[in-house]
Structure 1
Amino acid sequence: MSLAEPLRSGAAQAPDGAPVLSVEGLSVSVATEGGSRPLVQGISFALRRGETLAIAGESGSGKSITSLAVMGLLPANVRATAGTVRLGATDLLRLPESRMRAIRGDRVAMIFQEPMTSLNPVMTVGAQLAEAIRAHAPLPRRAARARALDALRAVRLSEPERRLDQYPHELSGGMRQRVMIAMALALKPDVLIADEPTTALDVTVQREVLDLLRELRRETGTALVLITHDMGVVAEMADRVVVMKDGRLVEEGPVARIFAAPRQPYTRALLAAVPRMGTRPPADVPADAPALPSAPPVCTLRDLTVRFDIGRGLLGRPTHRVHAVEGVSFDIRAAETFALVGESGCGKSTIARAIAGLVPFAGGIDLAGHELRGQGDVTRAVRRDAQIVFQDPAAALDPRMRVGDLVAEPLVIHGIGTRDERRATVESLFERVGLSRTQLDRYPHEFSGGQRQRVCIARALALRPRLIVADESVSALDVSVQARVLALLRELQDDMGVSFLFISHDMAVVDSIADRVAVMFLGQILEMGTRAQVFGDPRHPYTRRLIEAVPVPDPTHVRPPRDRLASEVPSPVRRRDDPPRRLRLRDVGDGHLVSEPGPPGEPV
């Protein structure tokens, strides 16, 4: 059975042009100790068969609450207080849970943002798919397994027969998301709700998932509700757009009109904050400008290698080795932003941990004149010169401490200043990162995500480091908050002369902030040069593939067709007696370094 078969006779087949899903005047409130508080107020929209409606907005705008209300999955203390949600002629808000359970997954399905938390880790992929199918269709186990196999084939998953017997942890993030899509579409629902389905994915995997959703929508006629804060994804996928802010509908219309002539200031601000590839002008240096004195690099990596032995043979000896970083060399200059880009598992974050002395390594790291030779060779002086800003600010801040104490903690550890002097320093840092002195005595949970990241930046600046490692530090932020944090980093660099090692898989963000860029794959650098060289004249096929996969926030942009990659990214795990081939970089002009494409199994 194919997912492309017509909808079953029991499906809600609305007449041509009539909505399959209609939301009218939806309001949702949460019960608090102080009384009922509105989360969503008066939302209305309609969705027709085969159409994609994007619900866009920042965190807290009510996007996900709206989708949960449609699915009947609101938390116990949250309820719909007004409006209707009609699937065909059926008002879903008036149905008891027993009837809603029959509709959920069968006629209205949902794909959540993080597939690992949505899949049962102790059940095989095939068992979970078959269970979902049998919950709505009275099929014997063998027939349910056959349909599960058809569903995996429909989402173009490589080796589908093998995947049926694997567990979720054995699959990559992109493969797990494909399994979630297969599970959602196995029963050919009338409506599919995708809540941030590509936010946590690498740019190439995101491209494959978006292409897949577009093709499956065209083949099955399923209507798609796409919830996202990525306006590039909205431009490429949506027919119509609903923009939300603070639980209210701000603007609605066809995607071309919203992007070409947004009517509301909030929509215009949202679109203006979107990073766009190729819009930043190259650095212009006047011909008669005096030569700057050459300063030694702030950080130099020479043949950095990080490997981990795994597996155990008959005699307890390791059998395999993870080649996380394999012979990487580069330097970071004073007041420079050097970016590492690449897909998950390429070794970007491992390099950051090696600089911080958190993993054992071979090779050399010179940090502000201190030569590091191994994991334990990181002194207090070295830690003062290099600080890290992590991806998740909520996890990086102790929830039991006030933010003022968190920012002052590095000063206390290093014995810098008196109590009053430390307080004055923290107040100055808060003002520097755009926070108020009155917020010093608050706890992390009292801040938004962007504000928490500003607290982390203030803490990283407390010791006046020479180098700040920003490891995916803006990837979890809304686009407008992301733009403000990036502007803050540039301002701090201009004012304080600090250098940044900026680690990201978001090519558009890197293009907006980096001075030089290195592209990594399987622990090695494939291409390195200035931002203009790497993004303006990419020489390696893998670099071009990364750039081509970036969503373009322009509905009129026509993306050239390219072959789908259904296979897995090669693994950095190899037998101990089978080391990877070291790639050599050659200078193609003005310091633009490029490796030759490798043999099969390596980037092409």
Structure 2
Amino acid sequence: MNAAVTKLSGAEKAPETAPPVLSVEGLEISVRTGEGPRVLVRDLSFDLARGETLAIAGESGSGKSLTSLAIMGLLPPPAVHVSGGTIRLGKTDLLGLPERWMRGLRGARIAMIFQEPMTSLNPVLTIGRQLIEAIEAHEDLSRRDARDRAVEALRAVRMSQPEARLKQYPHELSGGMRQRVMIAMAIALRPDVLIADEPTTALDVTVQREVLELLRDLQRDLGTAVILITHDMGVVAEMADRVVVMQSGRMVEQGPVREIFAAPREPYTRALLAAVPRMGRGEGAAASGIAETVARVEELRVRFDIRGGLLNRPTHAVHAVAGVSFEIRAGETFSLVGESGCGKSTIAKALTGLVPFEGLLEVAGRRLESGQRPDTAFRRGVQMIFQDPMASLDPRMRVGDLVAEPLVIHDIGTPSERRAQAEALFERVGLERDQLDRYPHEFSGGQRQRICIARALALRPRLIIADESVSALDVSVQARVLDLLKALKTEFGIAYLFISHDMAVVENVSDRVAVMRLGQIVEMGTRAQLFGDPRHPYTRQLIAAVPVPDPTRVPPPFTRPQGDVPSPVKRRGMEPRIEALTDVGEGHMVAGSG
């Protein structure tokens, strides 16, 4: 069997008599408040064997990340602290170590990969300097030897041109490359324990698959024990040997991954597994062919100039969208899928008048052509739900005013009528009227996204663009938000442009799907056509990379892309080659795949 996909139990990886490499017993974490200490994590215990992967799963606020920070000795002092229990790395009691000794263990014997690499890397230092400093902090090496070790670490995580990457800054790398740098930094000193805190949440599905395969290979080669912290149960099924399920700071269930998935004992675990979107369960029903067309995109092109030279003139252009065409019908959910940088969000920005474009756009009978800017009537017909609700809501305004603000901007109704509509929308999205006078920070992530949905509905648009609107949410919250969007589509007769890189979610919500790559659509068809009979190699690659929440299933072999990815950057005057879409079945279009 392929070693990259072989998963052994903890008992197979280490003799039962071998002591655990990490042991947590009765861990309690508290925070000091004005009313006294409040317990955040209570009575948590688990052991970790050498070469084992232990997943800690649960929703946001369950205590997963707090547990990892406590193990690393990184809880924010003095308010948050360990108030009980023990944490042992081998025979070393980590809680009893002075900070200067703990600094010597971090990186050398226990390392951590954080969720967002861009916030973990120093933006003003090169990748090489950050890697070399981390190595020199723990080992007495010359600068040349430390540099060679850094190159070796980058090569171990399959980073192309590792010597050249040392000279680059974090912003010059893609999200997947930055995460590889974080992994390289974590494994450079070959630690006994590696903690991966949501290491793939923000990554595209193919990059996620590559990172997971990489962690699996490194674990096999180095014998590292891994704690995987995630709310993605598909990742848990494919990666973990054992699972700890947490809820509200408590461990509700613990056991081998196959037992937990096959026969979960606790209601919370069963609910968590039931909420996971699974491939093959799509329930979309394509809108009738005679349904009214709500939105039309014809030969849409969006380019961004790159300037250079002494005169700072445009020399190159990024072809973010290169000749895209599609229609969206009334009552339909039309999805755009693809990896970051493929042009999905740029199309959304063009439809809402946020970027200049070439081509033709039409929403609810209002047309825009090259160079034109949308008027008030056009903007009223299309509204947007963004990925991060907290970044979409003004923290200084009460949420009731935020929901009513579009009515104020478009001069619709009196103040009392606007308030009444805000109350009605709040109730419709599952919130209470007495919450209207609160501020955004007083709501959970799922509640804030409901507020954004209510705001988008205020003008009764014909088209709502949902741009990665559930990707940052826990699976159970995600399921409730998706159910709400489905119900609102039927109730209000609106159409959705659903933008996502999560193929399992797309299959569960879509009527029709278009797959984008490098600014172009390479395949388009109904949900059943795209997921039941994908024709383009890139579509098949996306679907094959989706983690499946079934630990008994052996993932299909993953073929890593070879060579460099074609660049959307072209010299001024040079147009990218456009792949013509060919009808391979009723409404099923696919670009030439070579």
Paired residue for 2:426? 430
> How far apart are the structure 2 equivalents of 1:549 and 1:457?
30
The partner residue of 2:591 within 592, 595, 599 is: 595
Q: Deviations over 1:242-281 (max 9, x none)?
A: 0001000010000000100000000000000000011225
Aligned pairs for 1:229-244 within 5 A? 229-244=231-246
Structure 1: gaps of 5 or more residues:
1-12, 286-291, 599-604
Cα RMSD for the two superposed structures: 1.6
1:296 Cα deviation (Å)? 3.1
The partner residue of 1:183 within 167, 182, 185 is: 185
Q: Deviations over 1:526-568 (max 9, x none)?
A: 0000000011100000000000000000001111223323655
> How far apart are the structure 1 equivalents of 2:230 and 2:518?
30
Paired residue for 2:210? 208
Q: Deviations over 1:409-436 (max 9, x none)?
A: 1111112122222111111111110111
TM-score by length of 2: 0.95
Paired residue for 1:289? none
Paired residue for 2:6? none
Q: Deviations over 1:47-96 (max 9, x none)?
A: 00000000000000000000000000000111000000000111101111
> How far apart are the structure 2 equivalents of 1:45 and 1:556?
24
> How far apart are the structure 2 equivalents of 1:282 and 1:308?
36
1:379 Cα deviation (Å)? 1.2
> How far apart are the structure 1 equivalents of 2:310 and 2:97?
60
Deviating more after overlay: 164-173 vs 302-311? 164-173
Structure 1 SS opposite 2:293: coil
Aligned residue type for 2:231: H
Paired residue for 2:100? 98
Q: Deviations over 1:312-371 (max 9, x none)?
A: 234442110000000000000001000000000000000000000000000000111111
Paired residue for 2:499? 503
Paired residue for 1:52? 53
Structure 2 SS opposite 1:442: coil
Label 1:412 to 1:577 Cα distance change in 2 as closer, same or farther (>3 A): closer
Paired residue for 1:288? none
Q: Deviations over 1:204-240 (max 9, x none)?
A: 0000000000010011000000000000000000000
> How far apart are the structure 1 equivalents of 2:32 and 2:565?
46
Contact 1:14-1:88 at 8 Å conserved across structures? no
Label 1:376 to 1:80 Cα distance change in 2 as closer, same or farther (>3 A): farther
1:500 Cα deviation (Å)? 0.3
Q: Deviations over 1:282-314 (max 9, x none)?
A: 7499xxxxxx79343100000000001112234
Structure 1 SS opposite 2:265: coil
> How far apart are the structure 2 equivalents of 1:362 and 1:436?
44
> How far apart are the structure 2 equivalents of 1:112 and 1:482?
22
Paired residue for 1:418? 414
> How far apart are the structure 1 equivalents of 2:289 and 2:66?
56
Aligned pairs for 1:22-421 within 5 A? 22-76=23-77, 77-280=79-282, 283=285, 294-374=290-370, 377-421=373-417
Contact 2:545-2:558 at 8 Å conserved across structures? no
> How far apart are the structure 1 equivalents of 2:460 and 2:285?
27
Structure 2 SS opposite 1:318: strand
> How far apart are the structure 2 equivalents of 1:84 and 1:574?
58
Label 1:440 to 1:281 Cα distance change in 2 as closer, same or farther (>3 A): closer
Structure 2: gaps of 5 or more residues:
1-13
> How far apart are the structure 2 equivalents of 1:375 and 1:198?
39
The partner residue of 2:441 within 434, 445, 449 is: 445
Residue 490 in structure 1 maps to residue 486 in structure 2: yes
1:193 Cα deviation (Å)? 0.2
> How far apart are the structure 2 equivalents of 1:348 and 1:464?
24
Aligned pairs for 1:422-571 within 5 A? 422-565=418-561, 567-571=563-567
Deviating more after overlay: 350-359 vs 309-318? 309-318
> How far apart are the structure 1 equivalents of 2:15 and 2:308?
59
Label 1:15 to 1:497 Cα distance change in 2 as closer, same or farther (>3 A): closer
TM-score by length of 1: 0.94
Q: How many residues align?
A: 580
> How far apart are the structure 2 equivalents of 1:569 and 1:425?
49
Contact 2:261-2:551 at 8 Å conserved across structures? yes
Structure 2 SS opposite 1:39: strand
> How far apart are the structure 2 equivalents of 1:33 and 1:566?
57
1:168 Cα deviation (Å)? 1.4
Contact 2:286-2:526 at 8 Å conserved across structures? no
1:391 Cα deviation (Å)? 0.4
Label 1:573 to 1:466 Cα distance change in 2 as closer, same or farther (>3 A): same
Contact 2:107-2:191 at 8 Å conserved across structures? yes
Label 1:245 to 1:43 Cα distance change in 2 as closer, same or farther (>3 A): same
Aligned residue type for 1:21: L
Paired residue for 1:602? none
> How far apart are the structure 2 equivalents of 1:549 and 1:481?
23
Structure 2 SS opposite 1:319: strand
Contact 1:354-1:375 at 8 Å conserved across structures? no
Contact 1:304-1:328 at 8 Å conserved across structures? yes
1:574 Cα deviation (Å)? 1.5
> How far apart are the structure 1 equivalents of 2:119 and 2:60?
20
Q: Deviations over 1:450-470 (max 9, x none)?
A: 000000000000111100000
Paired residue for 1:8? none
Label 1:185 to 1:215 Cα distance change in 2 as closer, same or farther (>3 A): same
Aligned residue type for 2:396: R
1:377 Cα deviation (Å)? 2.1
Contact 2:283-2:509 at 8 Å conserved across structures? no
Contact 1:156-1:566 at 8 Å conserved across structures? no
Aligned pairs for 1:571-582 within 5 A? 571-582=567-578
Deviating more after overlay: 574-583 vs 481-490? 574-583
> How far apart are the structure 2 equivalents of 1:187 and 1:313?
42
> How far apart are the structure 1 equivalents of 2:147 and 2:442?
48
Label 1:408 to 1:284 Cα distance change in 2 as closer, same or farther (>3 A): closer
Contact 1:357-1:374 at 8 Å conserved across structures? no
Q: Deviations over 1:444-494 (max 9, x none)?
A: 001000000000000000111100000000000000000000000000011
Aligned residue type for 2:558: R
> How far apart are the structure 2 equivalents of 1:161 and 1:15?
43
Label 1:566 to 1:584 Cα distance change in 2 as closer, same or farther (>3 A): closer
